[in-house]
Structure formats: structure tokens, C-alpha cells
Amino acid sequence: MKLLRVILLLCFFSSFQAKSQELTRILFILDASNSMNANWGTQTRIEAAKELLAKAVDSLRGSANLQIALRVYGHQSPVTATYQDCNDTKLEVPFAKDNYDAVKNRIRSIAAKGTTPIARSLEAAAGDFPDQNARNIIILITDGLEACDNDPCVIAKKLHDKGVKVTPFVIGLGLDLSYLEQFKCIGSYTEAETKDAFRSVLKSVINKALINTTAQINLNNVNGVPIETDVTVFLYQAGTQKLMYTFEHTINRWGNPDTLVIDPNLKYDIVVNTIPKVEKKGVTLMKNTHNTIVLNCPQGFIHVKFSNATKPYTVDVRVTQKGNPTTLNTQFVNTTDKYIVGTYELEILTLPRIYQTVTVTQSSKETINILAPGQLTYSTPKAVAAQIFVIKEDGTTEWVCNLDQTNLTGFVALQPGNYKVVYRQKQLRSTTYTMEKSFKIQSNKTTPINL
């Protein structure tokens, strides 16, 4: 059984000087071939396609300088084991002003039964537009490969040779890449494996047609190459905290930052949520063209790990930029996080604390190895006031932590090394009762003491 394929082809007929008030014509081509009767989730493919297309048509009501039309194929002649009608394609509702109800009503009455003449439908669609004095756009929704004798790639070339520029958007629902590659000859493609994903993609393509302004956000590395990605980007209305768009930055199949549809009538403050964040204020878009917005976001990685742990330990790492005491990030030991290229101070929240300075370089991973802690367990017959000190290699002592005065037993995770605990039973009201006890901590081992 063929997987559901939805191909959205945008055809811009002839070159033109785009104008903000220029007439836009959108021709919807709906696949009503027999394979559209197969199930897709809780609906058949044709039911889902008709539902989403009808809602898309509704969303266009009231759009200025817009006309729509509907062509359908595969809906007139049933396909059989011995026969398929490759001329089964028809302009059902021609272009006209405010014909939204006519298009919706015809969509509802369509039944899927025939074959899949994609190329002939595209070729015929060129004649559906009254003239070339508009932005003429085709959106084709289909679930299958070309079933007749013509090649859509050949037709696309013929249209191009006639001055018709074809720019398709291929949205594959559950498609394997081998299928999508067959459409590389006529344009880009995107996967949308669910009905919700298709709804979102269809909306995006229609927005591209209506707004006629697109953008890509280049997150450049140190060499000025836009390879940084997989980070959330906020677009605020410039000078305000009004969030207009949220995008998870994506590199598409061709290795380029993905194309976005953004209202060109606003200025934007852009925030890239790297660590630390990168901002660009007062960004304007040129209308009726593709815009490239560049931000320098070179990044590398910091990885802190226990070099000899025999069991999992949970330890936080506080990260600050060198020269700035504000906490920038907190990550766990045995995790990796991504940072803008630069120098960072790490405070590893072991006992005692471990401090490291790390320089992050482009695309590299800086690994900090630390020894796994051991565990001190203590017990006391009566409450004590007690503090633990580490004995450093130069013989000096440094405070590590206080013991809880309300507990008679407890444990503390400590880094390997030599320690002493200084304590006094709280009930004994004289300094002369101060006691000391030395002990040694080894990685992954428990050291018991009795106070």
C-alpha cells in the first residue's frame, strides 16, 4: 500500500515585479485517485485531505487581492486492473472573486476512484490561469507517484522552458526518503507524518503564497558558515516584550537554515537561546523577497564526567562566564551542554568544591574528568556541633561543610582525600570538650566514623 504523499507545488508564472497590492491566484489541485481511499489514522486519505483543504479555503476568506480555483484528477473514471484514464483531470471551479463556497462545496462532493495523472494535471493547470499579470500559484495535494506515461520532471522542464517557473514544496506524510528523492528534480520537500503536521505545513505554504516574503536565520560559526542549529529562536516586536514567533532552528535536507514565513510589516528583536543567548535588535525584512538574517553563534561543548564512578552520582556544575559572577547555566556531571565559544568558570558542586576554567572552541568538546566521591557515614550517641575540614596537600586545612546538629546519624559524599572532623557534644558547655577525628575518603567506598 502506498504511503500518503502530499506534494505542494508552488508555480510562479513568468518573472514579475512584485507589488504589495498585486493580485494573487492560488490553484488547488486535489488527488482523487483510488489510492486516496486507503486509511490514514481515523480517516481515509481523501477524507483527511478534503477536510484540511476545506478549512484552508475557509481561512482565505477576506484576503485582499486573492482569487482561488480548484482542479481535481482521478475522480471521473474508476481505475481497474486493465484500464486507467490518464486524461482524468478537470478544472472544477475556475478563478473568480469570492468563490470560496463554490470551491468548498465541490470539495465535499468529490469521490476518489481513478488514477494519478500528476504530470498531465500540472500541464493542464498552466491554462487554468486567465493571464500572467498576477502571482499565479499551484498547490497540489496527492498521495502517490505519477501513474501515467508522463514524467512530472519533464513537464516541469517544459513549463520552465516556456517561462513558467516551478517551485514545489513536497510534504511527505510517512514517506521514505527514496520516494522524496524522486521529486528533487522539481524542488524542495518536507516530511509531515501526521495530520496535524500536514495542517501546519499547508498553512505555512499558503502564508508563503500570500505574504510573498520569506526569511532564513543563519547561525554562523567562527568561519561565517551557518551550521549552528537545534536551538530555540524568539522573535519579539522590536522594542517590546511582545513575542511574535517561536522557532526551533532547523537545518533542512539541503544543509541550509530552513525557510520561515514572517510578517514583513514589523521590525523584530531576535533572541537565540544559546548559552549565553545571542541577540540582534531592530531587524527589518525586505518585502516580496527572501531575506537572510545573520547572527554569530559559534559553539562548542563542555562535558564534565566522573572518571572512575562505579555507580551514578548526581552532582551539579555551576557555569559562569569568565569575569561575570552571574550563574549562566547549571548542568549535571556526566552530561554535555553547548556553549558559545569563549572562556568559562566551572564550580563543580562536590564536597569540597572543584573549580575549573574551561575555554570552549568551535565544535570541540572540552572534557573535565573528576574522581568519583566516596561516602562518609557518621553516628553519635548525642547531638554534636561538628564541622568537616579537608587536609590539603600542602598541609593546610579548609572547611568543607557542617554536620546537621539535629541528627545522630547521617552521611556525606566527599571527594577522595584526607579529612578531619572537629566536634563537641552540644550538652557539654566547655571548649575543653572539643574533639578531632581524622579519616580518609576513597572513591566509591564508604568510610564509617563514630563521634
Distance of CA 367 to the CA centre of its chain: 27
- Per-residue pLDDT, 425: 94
What class, spelled out in words, does domain 5-211 have in CATH? alpha beta
> What is the residue extent of each domain of the chain?
5-211, 214-296, 299-370, 374-450
Is 51 exposed, middle or buried (CB count within 10 Å of its CB: 0-12, 13-18, 19+)? middle
Contacts of 240 (CB under 8 A, 6+ apart): none
214-296, what's its fold?
Immunoglobulin-like (2.60.40)
- Per-residue pLDDT, 402: 97
- Per-residue pLDDT, 170: 47
- Per-residue pLDDT, 48: 86
| Three-state secondary-structure class, residue 432 | helix
Domain 299-370 matches domain 374-450 at the CATH topology level: yes
Contacts of 433 (CB under 8 A, 6+ apart): 424, 425
Q: Which among 316, 321, 386 is positioned nearest to 353, based on CA atoms?
A: 316
Q: CA-to-CA distance for 9 and 28, rounded, in angstroms?
A: 10
CA distances to 79, 183, 188 from 144, rounded to whole Å, are 14, 12, 17
List pLDDT tens digits, range 241-300: 999 999 999 998 778 999 898 889 899 999 999 999 999 999 999 987 889 999 999 999
DSSP characters for 185-217?
Answer: TT-EEEE--SHHHHHHHHHHHHHHHHH--EEEE
- Per-residue pLDDT, 160: 62
Q: For the chain, how big is the Rg over CA atoms in Å?
A: 33
- Per-residue pLDDT, 13: 40
Which three three-digit cell numbers place residue 376? 562518609
- Per-residue pLDDT, 203: 79
CATH superfamily of 374-450: Transthyretin/hydroxyisourate hydrolase domain (2.60.40.180)
Q: State the pTM of this model.
A: 0.70
| Three-state secondary-structure class, residue 126 | coil
Q: CA-to-CA distance for 352 and 416, rounded, in angstroms?
A: 10
Q: CA-to-CA distance for 292 and 368, rounded, in angstroms?
A: 38
- Per-residue pLDDT, 162: 54
Question: How far separated are the first and last CA of the chain, in Å rounded?
Answer: 75
Q: Which among 42, 39, 30 is positioned nearest to 111, based on CA atoms?
A: 30
Q: CA-to-CA distance for 103 and 69, rounded, in angstroms?
A: 7
Other residues' Cβ atoms within 10 Å of the Cβ of residue 305? 14
- Per-residue pLDDT, 166: 46
The reply to whether CATH 3.40.630.30 applies to domain 299-370 is: no
Q: Which regions of the chain are under pLDDT 70?
A: 1-21, 144-145, 150-152, 156-194
- Per-residue pLDDT, 19: 42
